[in-house]
Amino acid sequence: MRTWKIGIVGGGPGGLFTAYALQKRANHPYELTMFEASSRLGGKILTPQFHAAPVRYEAGAAEFYDYSHFEEDPLKELIAELGLPIARMGGSAVIVDQQVIAHQDDMRDRLGTAEWRDLLRFDLAARNRMTPQEFYHSDHPEGSAHAADASTFTTLLDEFSEQRTRDFVTTLIHSDLATEPHHTNHTYGLHNYLMNDPAYMQLYGIEGGNERLPQELAARIVGTKLLEHTVERVQRGADGRLRVQATHGGEHTEHAFDFVVIALPHNHLRSVKYAGDRLSPAVEDHIDYYDYPAHYLRISLLFESRFWESRLTDSYWMLDHFGGCCLYDESSRTPGLKQGVLGWLLAGDAAEQMSQQSDAELMEAALQSLPDFLADGREQLLEGQVHRWIRSVNAMPGGVAPRSLDRRHQPEPIEHPHLMFVGDYMFDSTLNGVVDSSEYVAGWIAALTSEYNA
Ligand SMILES: Cc1cc2nc3c(=O)[nH]c(=O)nc-3n(C[C@H](O)[C@H](O)[C@H](O)COP(=O)(O)OP(=O)(O)OC[C@H]3O[C@@H](n4cnc5c(N)ncnc54)[C@H](O)[C@@H]3O)c2cc1C
């Protein structure tokens, strides 16, 4: 029986999920090679420690989205299968003008009756526009017909009659959107508003750090994992196989495969040259179709203690700074920890513009954004770390109108049917989307190898 050679470009979640799904589905022998440009596997799931103390924080993906109360939730099922314990996360507080607004009574008391009524009206209209079931199925356009959505999220926000309510909602969802309302569409904005309601979505993290997920996957995947191998070129050879050229320590290497999966995020797709009269324009079209960059910047500060604990108890809160910013209590992930860790997730324009500033300036800006009732805690700072994630996520994942699943994953089907793409940018810009994408491609390759071997 023929042994198929399969190459995966990118050792982030997309590459790892694809390799693992393939291992479970393939009925025929194959040899896998994974190329990863950096010295570690895991991509944007990254759980480092501070230098001053062995205390962890999430520097990339912060939480997992739980859809298990609907039907299938392949990501949560995978995490359970790997034996990784999870912990629920949650937060409902928004800090506006130095005041904590945690529920609707706070909203009425602190923002005003007209604002409270305005929010209730908007909230009801939002739920009527999309039920929890519709929300769950909306990433699968082949299951539910979805028209192109050309209107911006600003048009939805224009429905507010009170400016303060509009500002409140903008603050509430800015970190999830990772962009400004005029750079995304109505549907994606509505999604990001509704996902704050547990009936639509819940959140969890992995105990011991989210990076345990890629680590467990890497340990189980059988194949050759080539770290510090940057793929530079992919093209079809004269024999019809796919040639992958990579560099490693200044040396060029070339490899031939029957199937190649490009598991790169949108902002890295152009790090590879896709050579060929058909392939090059097809991949350019693929890249352009999803080209709606969005930005994050994460500032993580280690403190002597959790000085906020008597006032704020959730896993995170929203701050009315930096256009709306999620502030994580990273230390809530490690019960019993002596020190405290806060993580600011700046998003959109603020993240892009402020990414030019030095780490010291960013740390100071983060400290200054703390509400006055926590100002004394600034003295307790021990260390800060900054991670810049500019253009690393998508403002309109899936594009203006979702494409069919085949078309998304196989940009050039005529001469390059075995060159497939995996990515969150074709779905919802989250890990759930990468799992869906990976499973689709792994299932397709497994089916093709079975068909050819028959
Ligand atoms: C700050 C931040 C917060 C986020 N929070 C969440 C969250 O809370 N929940 C959620 O679900 N998602 C979140 N995401 C999104 C999530 O991180 C992504 O969906 C996921 O990492 C995408 O996986 P990927 O493998 O496609 O890309 P990546 O994670 O970027 O991995 C790609 C890999 O490819 C490698 N690579 C790049 N170019 C080459 C090349 N030419 N050759 C070889 N290797 C290459 C890179 O080094 C990297 O290891 C967040 C993202 C960011 C930036």
CA angle 420, 424, 430 (to 5 degrees): 155
Q: Please answer whether residues 16 and 221 qualify as being in contact, where contact means their C-beta atoms are separated by less than 8 angstroms.
A: yes
290 lines ligand 1 (CB under 6 A): no
Report the distance separating Cα 72 and Cα 211, nearest Å.
Answer: 23
Confidence check: pLDDT of 453 > 90: no
Q: What confidence score (pLDDT) does residue 71 get?
A: 83
Q: What's the number of domains the chain is made of?
A: 2
Asked, for residue 323, whether it belongs to a domain, the answer is yes
> Is 85 among the domain residues?
no
Q: Is residue 263 over pLDDT 90?
A: yes
- Flag whether pLDDT at 142 surpasses 70: no
Q: Kindly state whether residues 431 and 352 are assigned to the same domain.
A: no
Per-residue pLDDT, 70 = 86
Q: Are residues 412 and 439 in the same domain?
A: yes
pLDDT exceeds cutoff 50 at 143 = no
Band (150; pLDDT cuts 50, 70, 90)? confident
Domain of residue 186 covers 93-195+293-394
Residues 298 and 390 grouped into a single domain: yes
136 and 121 belong to one structural domain: yes
- Domain C-terminal end among 371, 394, 417: 394
Assess whether 233 and 171 both reside in one domain: no
* 149: pLDDT strictly greater than 70: no
- pLDDT tens by residue, 265-274: 999 999 999 9
Ligand 1 in reach of 37 Cβ (< 6 A)? yes
Mean predicted confidence (pLDDT) in 376-385: 97
Q: Answer yes or no: is 283 within a domain.
A: yes
Whether the Cβ atoms of residue 93 and residue 318 lie closer than 8 Å to each other: yes
Can you give the CATH number for the domain in which 184 is found? 3.90.660.10
The pLDDT value recorded for residue 145 is 45
Q: Is residue 218 part of a domain?
A: yes
Which residue out of 89, 268, 269, 298 has the highest number of ligand 1 atoms within 8 Å of its CB and is therefore the one to mutate?
268
Give dist(CA 193, CA 191) in Å, integer: 5
Q: Assess whether 306 and 286 both reside in one domain.
A: no
pLDDT at 129: 92
307 CA to middle of ligand 1, Å?
Answer: 32
Q: Is the CB of 35 under 6 A from ligand 1?
A: yes
Please count the residues of the chain.
454
Please give the mean pLDDT across all residues of the chain: 94
pLDDT of residue 393: 97
193 has pLDDT over 90: yes
Q: Tell me: do 228 and 112 sit in the same domain.
A: no
Per-residue pLDDT band at 231 (split at 50, 70, 90): very high
Top-confidence residue, 35 or 188 = 35
Whether residue 202 lies inside any domain: the answer is no
Based on the fold, state whether residues 103 and 243 are members of the same structural domain.
no
Residue 72 domain-assigned (yes or no): no
Predicted confidence at residue 141, as pLDDT, reads 55
Q: Say how far apart CA 41 and CA 55 lie, in whole Å.
A: 21
Domain identity same for 283 and 258 = yes
End residue of a domain, out of 362, 394, 426? 394
Q: Is residue 25 assigned to a domain? A: yes
Question: What is the residue-wise DSSP string for 107-123?
Answer: IIIII-HHHHHHHHHHH
Q: Is 392 in the pocket of ligand 1 (CB under 6 A)?
A: yes
Q: Is 253 in the pocket of ligand 1 (CB under 6 A)?
A: no
User: Following DSSP, what letter does each residue of 47-76 receive, concatenated?
Assistant: --B-SSSS-B--SS---EEE-TTTS--HHH
Residue 21's domain is classified under what CATH number?
A: 3.50.50.60
**Whether residue 427 is found in the same domain as residue 416:** yes
Q: pLDDT by residue (tens digit) across 273-298? A: 999 999 999 999 999 999 999 999 99
Q: Tens digits of per-residue pLDDT, 313-342?
A: 899 999 999 999 999 999 999 999 999 999
Asked if residue 67 is part of any domain, the answer here is no
- Are 370 and 381 in the same domain? yes
Q: What would the mean pLDDT of 220-225 be, rounded to a whole number?
A: 98
- In angstroms, what is the span from residue 350 Cα to ligand 1's centroid? 21
- For the cut 90, the answer to whether the pLDDT of residue 92 exceeds it is no
Q: State residue 140's pLDDT score.
A: 62
* 126-143 average pLDDT score: 80
> Quick check: 252 pLDDT over 90?
yes
Shared domain for 221 and 182, answered yes or no, is: no
* pTM over cut 0.85: yes
The residue from 345, 370, 394 where one domain ends is 394
From the CA of 387, give the closest atom in ligand 1.
Answer: 1
The finding on whether 343 has its CB within 6 A of some atom of ligand 1 is no
